[in-house]
Amino acid sequence: MSESTANVAPDLAVDLAGLSLANPMMTASGTCGYANEYADFADLSQLGAFVTKSITREVRPGNEAYRIVETRAGMLNAIGLANVGLDVFLEQKIPLLEKLGPPIIVNVAGHSVDDYTHTAAAVAQQSIVQAVELNVSCPNVSDGLTFGTNPGLLRELVHEVRQAMEDRVKLIVKLSPNASDIVGTAEAAIDGGAQMLSLTNTFTAMAIDVNKRRPRLANGTGGLSGPAIRPIAVYLTHLVYSSVAKDAGVPLIGMGGIQNWRDAAEFVLAGASGLAVGTALFIDPATPQRVCNGLRDWLTSIGCHKLQDAIGTLDVSK
Ligand SMILES: Cc1cc2nc3c(=O)[nH]c(=O)nc-3n(C[C@H](O)[C@H](O)[C@H](O)COP(=O)(O)O)c2cc1C
């Protein structure tokens, strides 16, 4: 390595199916609202991309309280896709997101193929939107996992949404760890036309109030996130990357418990090109920037000049 190369900070830029990001760090959907909620606490302009809370065709109040419970090394939520609905999102939130800077990814949820295609098509027409992330993996609404756990339905949904968006923006499908065969759902999403996959959403889980002998969440069950799920999310990233995404050339966005650069580096080695942070934002909204700094030091220490070159380089030889 020449002296001049040695002094240059490693390049964190990543290419996600033609979508160029200055760095891999994103917000995980639902943990940073529509950006203005966090504007006073973090410099969101430094993100590689901003991912919104799930948007549905109609406004949704979400589930009854309690909707969030802290657990050891994690968080259990049953928000139930509370959101302002498509019309308010387009009128009031898009203008705020326009000022943010980084590429905008809008997460879309629905109850039917028609719901998803209607919302995704409307969002894709917004000039500031770079990608739509389909949430087919919400464990906290009655039919939230219908598409995410059934490869046949998922393939059809993804195909219809891709058609409806007329290639205006990229299509990401967010996989569920609650599917019995995540490789099967990943294949179905790719067959349907997904250009990227994100994983994972939360794991269905429960916390019990032992005095009341009742679930602590009003919904009964919730979705577990945070450090408790990270090793499983890393494994699922490795599994999907090595079984299907690598050969298909479909980039992965890894998430689940990322708190620091070391956690992020695990996902990169396992095959993730993008990285999203959710639960950790509640503790430190500057986590994405901290992770970027740590990733640069890590890449320098392993003699790698570009993050892109480290993706999926896990050595599993015996
Ligand atoms: C409070 C909360 C709300 C969430 N809302 C959404 C949502 O609206 N749509 C979605 O696709 N995922 C949602 N998620 C899942 C996260 O985007 C992410 O997949 C998951 O939390 C794992 O990442 P983490 O461990 O870094 O939080 C939510 C997670 C939390 C903790």
**Residue 39's pLDDT is what?**
84
**Residue 74's pLDDT is what?**
96
Residue 294, Cβ neighbours under 10 Å: how many?
16
Domain of residue 40, CATH code: 3.20.20.70
Closest atom of ligand 1 relative to the 276 alpha carbon: 26
Residue 236 lies in a domain: yes
Residue 217 lies in a domain: no
- Give 132's strand partners: 106, 171
Q: What backbone torsions phi and psi does residue 116 show, to the nearest 5 degrees? A: -65, -45
Contact yes or no for 108/173 (Cβ under 8 A): no
Residue 149 lies in a domain: yes
AA letter at 309: D
Exposed/middle/buried for residue 268 (C-beta within 10 Å: 0-12, 13-18, 19+) = buried
Among positive and negative, which fits the CA dihedral 122, 123, 126, 127?
A: negative
Residue 213 lies in a domain: no
Considering only CA atoms, which of 169, 18, 40, 15 is closest in space to residue 104? 169
Tokens of 98: 């326009």
Residue 214 lies in a domain: no
Overall domain count for the chain = 1
- Give 225's strand partners: 75
* 86-102: b (≥16 Cβ within 10 Å) or e: beebbeebbeebeebeb
List Cβ neighbours of 318 (8 Å cut-off, separation of 6 or more): none
Is residue 31 reached through a cis peptide bond, with omega within 30 degrees of 0 on the bond before it?
Answer: no
Cα 31 to ligand 1 centre (Å): 6
Residue 70 lies in a domain: no
Cα 140 to ligand 1 centre (Å): 11
Residue 92 lies in a domain: yes
**Residue 5's pLDDT is what?**
53
Closest atom of ligand 1 relative to the 81 alpha carbon: 8
Please give the positions annotated as active site. Answer: 138
Is 201 near ligand 1, meaning CB less than 6 Å away?
yes
What is the value of pTM for the model shown? Answer: 0.97
Q: How confident is the chain (318 residues) per 10-residue block, as mean pLDDT?
A: 66 98 98 91 94 97 96 96 97 95 96 95 98 90 84 96 98 95 97 98 97 97 97 98 98 98 98 98 96 98 98 96
- The Cα 82–Cα 191 span in angstroms is 30
- Supply the range of the domain harboring residue 179: 3-65+80-203+226-310
